[in-house]
Amino acid sequence: MELRAFTEQVLFATSLEEKLWRPEVVTDEQPGPAITAPSSPGRPPELHFKAERGGNADFPRLHQIEREAERGRLLHFFANHELLATELMALVLLRFPDAPPAFRRGVLQTLYDEQDHTRLYVERMAACGVGFGELPVSGYFWRVVSGMENPIDYVAGLSLTFEQANLDFSRHYAACFSAVGDAPTAGLLDRIYHDEIRHVAYGLRWFRRWKQPDESDWAAFCRVLRFPLSPQRAKGFAVNVEGRRLAGLDAAFIAELEVYAQSRGRTPGVFLFNPFAEGHLAQGRAFTPDQRQRELQTDLGNLPQFLCRQDDLVLVERRPSVTFLAGLKRAGFVLPEFVALGETIRAPWRERADGPPVPADALAERKFGALRPWAWGPDSVALLRPFAAHSALGEADLEARCGPAIAALYSKASGAALLSEVLARCPGCPGEDAPVIDAPGSWLCDRQDVGREVRSLEAALAVIAEGRGRGPARLVAKEALGLAGSNAIRLWEPELLESQRRWMAGVLERGQSLIIEPWRDRLLDFSLQYEMGPDGLRRRGCTGLINDHRGQFQGNHAAPNHARSLPETVAQALPAHPARFAWLQRVFDEVAVALEARLRAAGYAGPVGIDAFVFRDAQGVPRLKPVVEINPRYTMGRLTLELMRQVAPGSHGLLLLWNRALLRRIGRADFSSLAAWLAEAAPVEQVGEPKARIRAGAICLNDAATARVSLAVFHVFAEAQGVAAFLASLGLASAGEATTMRASRDR
């Protein structure tokens, strides 16, 4: 029988018997012209594809396959996959009659195997009481592979994608069926596993022959696959390294596949790390990050991966290395998809040295969910604009994300106004007739601690004079809008220095306002993290906050109960009183009420943080400043809370940004040597089943091999004193904070 006649029967027959029949002898002397792929293969009515968005038959879960009927239902899915493979192989022989004869012979032999697999699955189904066609069947394989334009599309899409994935699925389900005592089905899956090794090896040989000679297997694979196919479809629950090695795939390909991620169907969100949005908001086009800031943004560009889900997409300057991502995966973190900046929907094709290119048309065909930059500002709007039309947001709403009302939330004047409102609402403030608790004096800061906004040098000088008129006072002047740690000066001298006057005049001449407030002797800093959604403001948790003497962020730490209550260290810093925990909760309930009203008025939705601190007043009495500033964006505190999801119950977490000054403090030459030291001194210890969580150890959150100015490390300690001792050893925790952390431990 001629191959063309046989493959036409396999492709277009409307009975299962005809599709699975094969002649004893097949010749390929009259291949005929190439055909156009039909919208679907011929099938009996009960095996017609369900509508693309039709209802799905429930895929049996593993605990259900102890029941024979459920095993039959699972085999129904497998049988349809094998029949689809049979039909697609018939199609490739009809689509490419001029392909090399050796290639066509190999496809025919594989087609025979797929016929056998289908027949054997149908027999096993019948033994379980399920007939082929009793459940709806999917045509997904057909839709994504049948449009192949060249034979290499076939070997990439079927041999190296779906058949490669079956190296994982067949081995996994063979073990599952064996565990429930179904030896015949386990044996069938084992046979199919070994057949799939041969099929993948066959496809790989031709793929290597047809790809560009200077391309790696991995780069060519990523290039040839067309959306919605991606390397994500080429693996199952866990990557079976042994089977892939037997099929001839090299170690580099397998390593890349293990850490590759892309959505299998869920619409992905798009995440972006842009930590200098406030600079762009403050100065507009005049703001240009300096070299250190650019390097910091590049170093930490992958951090949003710890905020998003596995199916989401993270835009980065450079893709993290396979070695680094593999380490995160071993520590239990899921990996999102990474796309290099510039390779956006309207960008041309771009080759890059650190990974395979992502073609513009692949992104253009995709839909996206929420757009989630670290912060909304002119920079994130520009970078995310190519995604907006394809997202749930839409281009029309993009500009509003950094409109005047939302931009005003970043201003320290907004934080001062919120603090003033909270002090007016909270019981126990100075001047209240009926304090909430019977405590000596107020535990809240004074209304004089509310920052005063000024817009002229004359007004600034008047506020400074007024502050100093109340006695010896240290003051601080801050730009209302600007980058933390670099937008303030301390006014500690008895008389204003000329350099201080010039600095304030320069800020005011640029159109910025200033906030002037007392400088306080802080005992400890902390932050509260919220999410503003359609249903209102929800508190996500609280963290301790570590800043240097200039106010620049260095780290956050979180206790096991971070999501349920305020850090015990905050209460421990206040005067001893049985009602202090309840009082703190009431204060921050008022903060949340006032904050939610402001966010609603501005039309803001998304993450938001509030910084706060406890300080010692002139009489040495600890007091609380419940609002320092509003951060309408993701923060390192929020990142810390998300990281705590991977931490075992009872353990404490510390997110620390290591810089070169800290490296010198511990005698390390670079970030790679720091990472090596941490791996030896604080190896990751995981506990728990079935999902292991981190009990102790240190995990580098960005790639130490490429970090230039900063390495984010998540340190996990089994006990609270571990955090305090570690911070003290680095000279990062103040004496007051270390004391309160130890008190919290002892309590």
For helices 183-210 and 163-179, give the axis angle rounded to 10 degrees: 170
User: CB neighbours of 536 closer than 8 A, spacing ≥ 6?
Assistant: 596
Q: How confident is the model at residue 655 (pLDDT cuts 50, 70, 90)?
A: very high
The arithmetic mean of pLDDT across residues 656-673, rounded, is 94
Q: Give per-residue pLDDT as tens, 471-489.
A: 768 899 999 987 766 688 9
Angstrom distance (rounded) from CA 736 to CA 616: 10
Q: How confident is the model at residue 354 (pLDDT cuts 50, 70, 90)?
A: very low
Angstrom distance (rounded) from CA 95 to CA 89: 10
Which pLDDT value is given to residue 564?
A: 78
Q: Please answer whether residues 702 and 300 qualify as being in contact, where contact means their C-beta atoms are separated by less than 8 angstroms.
A: yes
What sign for the dihedral angle of Cα 51, 53, 55, 59?
Answer: positive
Instruction: List phi, psi (to 5°) of 613.
Output: -155, 160
Q: How confident is the model at residue 390 (pLDDT cuts 50, 70, 90)?
A: confident
Which pLDDT value is given to residue 57?
A: 56
- For 475, the token pair is 């003051």
The arithmetic mean of pLDDT across residues 258-273, rounded, is 89
Q: Please answer whether residues 539 and 508 qualify as being in contact, where contact means their C-beta atoms are separated by less than 8 angstroms.
A: no
What mean pLDDT is reported for the chain? 89
Q: How confident is the model at residue 705 (pLDDT cuts 50, 70, 90)?
A: very high
Residue type (1 letter), 467: G
Please tell me the least confidently modeled range out of 144-158, 249-263, 335-349, 403-417: 335-349
Which pLDDT value is given to residue 51?
A: 80
Which pLDDT value is given to residue 567?
A: 78
- For 601, the token pair is 């008025």
Rg (CA), the chain: 31
Cis before 690? omega within 30 = yes
The arithmetic mean of pLDDT across residues 151-169, rounded, is 96
Q: Give per-residue pLDDT as tens, 87-145.
A: 999 999 999 999 999 999 999 999 999 999 999 999 999 999 999 999 999 999 999 99
Query: Is the pLDDT confidence value at 413 over 70?
Result: yes
pTM score, two decimals?
Answer: 0.85
User: CB neighbours of 96 closer than 8 A, spacing ≥ 6?
Assistant: 34, 104, 150, 151, 154
3 state SS of 728: helix
Q: Give per-residue pLDDT as tens, 574-625.
A: 888 888 888 888 899 999 999 999 999 999 999 999 999 999 988 888 999 9
Classified by CATH at the fold level, domain 408-445+520-746 comes out as: D-amino Acid Aminotransferase; Chain A, domain 1 (3.30.470)
Please report, rounded to a whole number, the percentage of residues in the chain having pLDDT higher than 90: 69
Angstrom distance (rounded) from CA 170 to CA 191: 9
The arithmetic mean of pLDDT across residues 492-501, rounded, is 90
3 state SS of 694: strand
Q: What percent of the residues of the chain are helix, what percent strand, and what percent coil, each to the nearest 5?
A: 45, 15, 35
Q: How confident is the model at residue 528 (pLDDT cuts 50, 70, 90)?
A: very high
Which pLDDT value is given to residue 355?
A: 46
Which pLDDT value is given to residue 485?
A: 60
CA-wise closest residue to 623 among 676, 670, 584, 579: 584
- Sequence length of the chain is 747
| CATH class (in words) of the domain with range 3-13+63-259 | mainly alpha
Instruction: List phi, psi (to 5°) of 151.
Output: -55, -30
Angstrom distance (rounded) from CA 428 to CA 437: 7
Q: Residues 335, 341, 345, 351: what is their CA dihedral angle, to the nearest 10 degrees?
A: -90
Which pLDDT value is given to residue 486?
A: 66
Q: How confident is the model at residue 344 (pLDDT cuts 50, 70, 90)?
A: low
Enumerate the domain spans of the chain.
Answer: 3-13+63-259, 270-402, 408-445+520-746
CA of residue 591 relative to chain centroid, distance? 29
Query: Is the pLDDT confidence value at 741 over 80?
Result: no
- The DSSP element (H or E) to which 165 belongs, if any, is helix 163-179
Which pLDDT value is given to residue 60?
A: 72
Q: Please answer whether residues 89 and 82 qualify as being in contact, where contact means their C-beta atoms are separated by less than 8 angstroms.
A: no
Strand partners, 444: 624
Please report, rounded to a whole number, the percentage of residues in the chain having pLDDT higher than 70: 91
Q: Give per-residue pLDDT as tens, 711-737.
A: 999 999 999 889 989 998 998 865 445
- For 668, the token pair is 């390390």
Which pLDDT value is given to residue 566?
A: 80
